[in-house]
């Protein structure tokens, strides 16, 4: 196998972690209607069951950093694949097990741990094996896989649900929706054994010859020697533990910038749209129940297409131009939605606004955040720093997921001034802040090696 094909192969294998991220977070949307009836959940408990995986995601991201340093990126991904598999099987609660809500929550938490670990390790691993000139495109494979996971799970849950009666869905349909995730779980777990360890992690552990062998297989002998030289200059070539002295004032500033930027991805409102899309279409946009699934698939399709746009432009235009273009698009989309809601003129323009927002996010904050997080931290602290930034993102995700329904149902949002538009104007405020934050604090990382990027912060 030639170097280019090998690089694409191991990138795709790693990116399956993203597909499982999208699949696992999406499958609960299809299953929750039926499992809510099966367990006779009240609204508060329903929200807890649906959101429980996010708590696991936060914990998984926190432990992913130290674990990645100890056992490496590859082995950490293998553990996350095992957790995904346990969660997918257990969430279906086979009949011979005690069927209780707490047990379901435990399996959702286990799945969340897997998501949190994979969401940190998969893009970091891809960044550490990728050539500088292609790194943006290759890390975007991860976001592409997340989007594909969302798209596939919508189709899978629709296929399962539409072939059963409502009574059958309540009895067994939701179980099958969870079990459908076992197919990508086993695929991910099996293929991970074929990918090499991260050469940068190997260098930090003092395994320089093994690191060079991996780099040679990926980049060819001549480029591998140059890459190896840069890595060795940055590391001390010894098996070392992270020290407090590694966390200089500059390093802490970089971690703070990365964490805020990571959280801002969630404060665009993307997951409020994805998680509560059916409610938005039914309540805010006036669509009937029969139209909701079609609209959800449409959202997922637009998300997929414009992630491709990001993939093929991020290494040409750069990271910051995509952020500016996407932010302007997100502003226009939510302005259309917000104004039509406020003026009680909900219709085609409202739907167009939602689609413009999704398309703009998919080509900017969706993939670019993962690319920048995998690039911006110094090699010695990358695992811990990215762990903190990803955990901050999951905390923000949980906050938005829990507060969006509260704001939507509030008296203020439903008065004559806002008419249901308040959440979208709040998101608009955050999008404006993203433009400022990008201009002020985010460096352009296009075409620079991970080692060169460390010098960018020193300027």
Taking CA atoms, 150 is separated from 163, 181, 211, 376, in Å, by 20, 12, 35, 27
CA distance 123 to 276: 27
State the number of CA atoms in the 13 A half-sphere of 260 facing the CB: 14
Q: What share of the chain is helix, strand, coil (3-state, %, to 5)?
A: 80, 0, 20
Taking CA atoms, 239 is separated from 94, 157, 236, 329, 415, in Å, by 45, 47, 8, 47, 62
| Domain 1-195 coded CATH 3.30.450.40 | no
**What dihedral do alpha carbons 129, 10, 265, 153 form, nearest 10°?**
180
Specify the pLDDT at position 237: 47
Question: CATH for 245-459?
Answer: 1.20.1250.20
Specify the pLDDT at position 12: 96
Q: What is the pLDDT of residues 212-269, one digit of tens each?
A: 999 999 888 888 888 888 887 766 544 455 565 567 888 899 999 999 999 999 999 9
- Ranges under pLDDT 70 in the chain: 1, 94-98, 234-246, 276-279, 281-294, 459
* Domain positions in the chain: 1-195, 245-459
Contact partners, residue 15, CB within 8 Å, separation at least 6: 122, 126, 141, 142, 144, 145
Specify the pLDDT at position 314: 95
Specify the pLDDT at position 285: 67
Q: What is the pLDDT of residues 416-449, one digit of tens each?
A: 999 999 999 999 999 999 999 999 999 999 988 8
Instruction: Answer whether 1-195 and 245-459 agree in fold.
Output: yes
Place of tokens 């960044």: 127
Specify the pLDDT at position 288: 62
């Amino acid at each position: 196998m030639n170097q280019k094909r090998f690089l694409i192969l191991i990138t795709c294998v790693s990116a399956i972690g993203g597909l499982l991220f999208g699949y696992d977070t999406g499958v609960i949307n299809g299953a929750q209607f039926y499992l809510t009836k099966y367990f006779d959940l009240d609204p508060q408990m329903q929200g807890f069951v649906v959101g429980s995986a996010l708590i696991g995601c936060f914990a998984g991201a926190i432990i992913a950093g130290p674990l990645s340093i100890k056992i490496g990126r590859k082995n950490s991904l293998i553990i996350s694949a095992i957790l995904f598999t346990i969660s997918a099987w257990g969430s279906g609660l086979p009949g011979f097990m005690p069927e209780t809500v707490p047990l379901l929550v435990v399996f959702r938490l286990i799945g969340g741990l897997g998501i949190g670990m994979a969401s940190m390790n998969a893009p970091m691993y891809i960044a550490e094996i990728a050539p500088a000139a292609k790194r943006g495109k290759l890390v975007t494979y991860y976001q592409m896989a997340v989007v594909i996971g969302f798209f596939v799970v919508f189709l899978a849950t629709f296929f399962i649900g539409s072939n059963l009666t409502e009574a059958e869905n309540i009895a067994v349909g939701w179980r099958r929706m969870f079990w459908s995730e076992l197919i990508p779980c086993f695929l991910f777990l099996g293929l991970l054994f074929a990918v090499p360890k991260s050469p940068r992690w190997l260098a930090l552990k003092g395994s320089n010859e093994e690191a060079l062998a991996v780099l040679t297989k990926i980049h060819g002998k001549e480029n591998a020697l140059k890459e190896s030289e840069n890595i060795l200059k940055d590391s001390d070539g010894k098996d070392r533990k992270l020290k407090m002295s590694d966390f200089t004032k500059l390093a802490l500033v970089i971690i703070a910038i990365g964490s805020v930027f990571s959280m801002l991805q969630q404060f665009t409102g993307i997951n409020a749209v994805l998680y509560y899309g059916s409610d938005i279409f039914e309540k805010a946009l006036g669509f009937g129940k029969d139209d909701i699934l079609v609209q959800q698939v449409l959202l997922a399709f637009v998300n997929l297409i414009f992630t491709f746009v990001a993939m093929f432009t991020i290494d040409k235009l750069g990271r910051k131009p995509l952020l500016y273009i996407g932010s302007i698009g997100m502003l226009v989309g939510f302005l259309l939605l917000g104004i039509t809601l406020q003026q009680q003129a909900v219709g085609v323009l409202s739907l167009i606004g939602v689609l413009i927002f999704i398309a703009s996010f998919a080509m900017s904050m969706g993939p670019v955040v993962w690319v920048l997080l995998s690039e911006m931290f110094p090699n010695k602290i990358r695992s811990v720093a990215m762990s903190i930034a990803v955990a901050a993102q999951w905390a923000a995700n949980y906050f938005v997921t829990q507060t969006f329904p509260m704001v939507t149902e509030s008296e203020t949002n439903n008065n004559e001034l806002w008419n249901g538009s308040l959440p979208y104007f709040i998101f608009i405020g955050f999008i404006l802040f993203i433009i400022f934050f990008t201009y002020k604090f985010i460096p352009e990382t296009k075409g620079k090696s991970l080692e060169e990027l460390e010098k960018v912060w020193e300027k």
